[in-house]
Amino acid sequence: MVSPFSSRDGFVDDGSGVASHYGNPLGEQRLLARGAAIVDLSDRGVLTVTGPDRLSWLNSLTSQALVGLAPGVSTETLLLDANGRLEHAARVLDDGETTWLLVDRAEVEPLGTWLDRMRFMLRVEVADRTADVATIGSMHDLLDGPDGPDGPDGSDGPDGSAPIVPVLMSHDTALVWVDPWHEVAAGGHSYADSDRHPGHDWTYRESLVRRSDLDALAASPADRLAVAGTLALEALRIEAWRPRLSTEVDERTIPHELDWMRSAVHLTKGCYRGQETVAKVHNIGHPPRRLVMLHLDGSDGVLPPRGAEVVLAPVAGGAPDAAATAGGAVSDPEATAPKSVGHVTSVALHHELGPVALALVKRGTDEAAPLAVVVDDLMIAAAQEIVVPASAGAAAGVPRLPRLGAVRR
C-alpha cells in the first residue's frame, strides 16, 4: 500500500510505501532534528490488548515490568525465546483500558498470532488495529508544537484551533508514545558510557492517528506541515545509538549486545521466557558481540549496505595487521585476507557527522583497532565509537574459583 503522502512533491518510495525522502534528505533531517517536521510511518503496525488481565499477562511473557503501568506512560518490552534471543520488540502505551503495542509491520502477524495463542483462560483480547490506525513520527509533541502552542512548524492553527496533526485520543489519553531511550529505565541497566550517551538528547516519539486522516494530512500545505522521509529518521536514530528490531537484530541477538537492557529489560521483575539467559549473561558472563557506531570514510561517496562485512583494517602499505590473522605474524601478506569481526546493521548519511553506521562486532575486537567495511572490491575505513564495551556483563563480580587440583604460584 502506497501512503497518501506519495502525493507530496519529491516523494521517493523507500520500498514499503512511505517516503525515504522528498528530494532533500539532509535538509529534511535538519528540520526533523529541530522538531520542525514529521515522518510518515504509516507502514508500521499497531496491535491492541484489552481486558482486565492485559498488563499482568504481558508482564509474565516479556522483559519489561508492565504491572501497574499508568495511563499515558510510555515504555517498551521484548519477547525472547527460551535461550534469551530476541524474537519481537514492542513500544508500549496503556490508556487505562487498552494496551497499545506499536510494532514494525513485519511483526504484526507473527506477534499477534503468538499472543493470541498464549491467552489460555485469561481475560484478554488481542486485535490488529493496523488497518484503521497509523503512526506518525516526530521529535516534538504534535499536540503543542516544538515551542508550545502555535509553534513555528504550524502544528497549531494561528487562531488557536486544534493541532493540524489530529492525535488519536482513547479514554481521555493522547496516544503518543515517547521513546524511553533518553534515560535508563527503572530496573534497567546501561553498558554505554552514561556521561556521553547521545540518547540524552533523543526526544523521539510516535503519535497514533486515524488512518482515515492521512489524506488530509498529506494535503496540508508544505509551509504549514513540513515532512521528512525515513532516511532522516534513520540518520538521527544511528546518531543516538538507538537499536531497532528490523535492522540490528538477527537470529542470534540477545539484548545485552545492543545495550537494550537500558530501556526494555527490567532485571528484578521476576520470571519470563529467556530471563535466565538475561540474568546469567548480565551477572556472570559477557555478551558474545557488541554494538559499535562507525564513522565511515566518505571519500569514495559509497555507503555500505546493511550486512556489509566489518574487518580489521589493513596497516599502511596494504598488508593486513598481524592481529588480523589467526596465526599472529603474516608470512604472506598478499595472500592473507583481513580478519572479519562483524557486520553493518544500519547505515545513513548524517547532516553533521557524514556517513555513519551501527555494526555488531565480536566482543574480543580491540576497542582501539581501526576497522574497515568491505563493499565489493572497496574497503571503507571506519573509526569505531564504543556503544557496548568489551567489559559489558559480569556485573555480579563473582570471583573466579581455582580449578580442583590447580596449584597456585
Residues 6+ apart with CB under 8 A from 327: none
Mean pLDDT value of segment 226-232: 98
The alpha helices in 118-271, defined as continuous H runs, are: 214-218, 230-239, 245-248, 261-264
Mean pLDDT value of segment 330-341: 66
Q: Which of 4-18, 378-392, 395-409 has the lowest mean pLDDT?
A: 395-409
* Torsion angle of C-alpha atoms 140, 142, 143, 145, degrees rounded to 10: 60
Q: What is the pLDDT of residue 68?
A: 94
Residues 6+ apart with CB under 8 A from 331: none
C-alpha–C-alpha distance, residues 291 and 368, integer Å: 14
C-alpha–C-alpha distance, residues 197 and 194, integer Å: 5
Q: What is the pLDDT of residue 194?
A: 79
Q: Where are the beta strands (DSSP E) in 169-302?
A: 169-170, 173-174, 176-178, 205-210, 227-228, 289-296
Please indicate whether residue 330 or residue 230 has the higher confidence score (pLDDT): 230
C-alpha–C-alpha distance, residues 209 and 252, integer Å: 35
- Set of cell numbers at residue 280: 546469567
Q: CB–CB of 228/29 below 8 Å?
A: yes
Q: At residue 407, does pLDDT exceed 80?
A: no
Give φ, ψ of 100 to 5 degrees: -100, 125
**What percentage of the chain reaches a pLDDT higher than 90?**
82
Q: What is the pLDDT of residue 401?
A: 58
Q: At residue 199, does pLDDT exceed 90?
A: yes
DSSP string, 123-149: S-EEEE-TTTEEEEEESS-TTT-BTBT
Tell me the whole-structure pTM to 2 decimals: 0.90
Mean pLDDT value of segment 106-133: 96
pLDDT band at 336 (very low <50, low <70, confident <90, very high): low
C-alpha–C-alpha distance, residues 206 and 261, integer Å: 21
Between the two ends of the chain, the Cα-to-Cα distance in Å is 70
Mean pLDDT value of segment 301-325: 75
Q: What is the pLDDT of residue 151?
A: 43
C-alpha–C-alpha distance, residues 28 and 113, integer Å: 37
Q: At residue 335, does pLDDT exceed 60?
A: no
Q: What is the pLDDT of residue 405?
A: 61
Return the DSSP state at 406. P
Q: At residue 363, does pLDDT exceed 90?
A: yes
The 10s digit of each residue's pLDDT in 58-75 is 999 999 999 999 999 999
Q: At residue 295, does pLDDT exceed 50?
A: yes
Q: CB–CB of 227/40 below 8 Å?
A: yes
Q: At residue 162, does pLDDT exceed 90?
A: no
